[in-house]
Amino acid sequence: AVVSMPVRRLAGWHVIVTSGPTHEPIDPVRYIANRSSGAQGTAIAAALRDLGARVSFVTGPADIPPPEGVEIIAVETARQMREAVEALLPADAAVMAAAVADWHVSNASDSKIKKDGSGKFPKLQFAENPDILAWISQLQAGRPGLVVGFAAETDNVLENASAKRLRKGCDWIVANDVTPATGIMGGSENAVTLISDEGAESWPRLSKTEVARRLADRIADALTGMEG
Ligand code: CTP
Ligand code: CA
Q: Which of 164, 165, 177, 215 to mutate to test the pocket of ligand 1 (most atoms within 8 A of CB)?
A: 164
Active-site residue 34, yes or no? yes
**127 phi/psi in degrees, rounded to 5:** -130, 150
CATH 3.60.21.10 fits 14-103+127-223, yes or no: no
In the three-class reduction of DSSP (H, G, I as helix; E, B as strand; rest coil), residue 120 is classed as coil
pLDDT of residue 3: 75
- What is the rounded CA–CA span in Å between residue 124 and residue 28? 14
Residue 142 identity: G
ipTM of the complex: 0.98
Q: Which residues pair with 146 in a beta bridge?
A: 93
pLDDT of residue 16: 99
Neighbours of ion ligand 2 (CB under 5 A): 102
- Residue 131 CA to ligand 2 center (angstroms) comes to 9
Within 6 Å (CB) of ligand 1, which residues are found? 18, 78, 96, 98, 100, 102, 129-133, 149-152, 164
Scored b (16 or more CB within 10 A) or e, 32-54 reads bbbebbbbbbbbbbbbbbbbbbb
CB 131 within 8 Å of CB 85: no
**Diameter over CA atoms, the chain:** 77
- Residue 2 CA to ligand 1 center (angstroms) comes to 46
pLDDT of residue 228: 52
pLDDT of residue 181: 82
Instruction: Please list the rounded mean pLDDT of every run of 10 residues in the chain (228 residues).
Output: 80 98 98 94 98 98 96 98 98 98 98 89 96 98 97 94 98 93 85 96 95 98 84
Q: Which of 32, 80, 100, 168 to mutate to test the pocket of ligand 1 (most atoms within 8 A of CB)?
A: 100
Ligand at minimal distance from the CA of 44 is 1
Alpha-carbon Rg for the chain, nearest whole angstrom, is 19
pLDDT of residue 227: 64
DSSP state for residue 129 in the 8-state scheme: P
Residue 75 CB partners (closer than 8 Å, separation 6+): 22, 58, 59, 60, 81, 84
Angle formed at CA 103 by CA 97 and CA 104, multiple of 5 degrees: 110
Q: Of all protein residues, whose CA lies closest to atom 20 belonging to ligand 1?
A: 151
Domain ranges of the chain: 14-103+127-223
CB 112 within 8 Å of CB 29: yes
**172 phi/psi in degrees, rounded to 5:** -125, 150
Closest CA to 172 of 44, 11, 64: 44
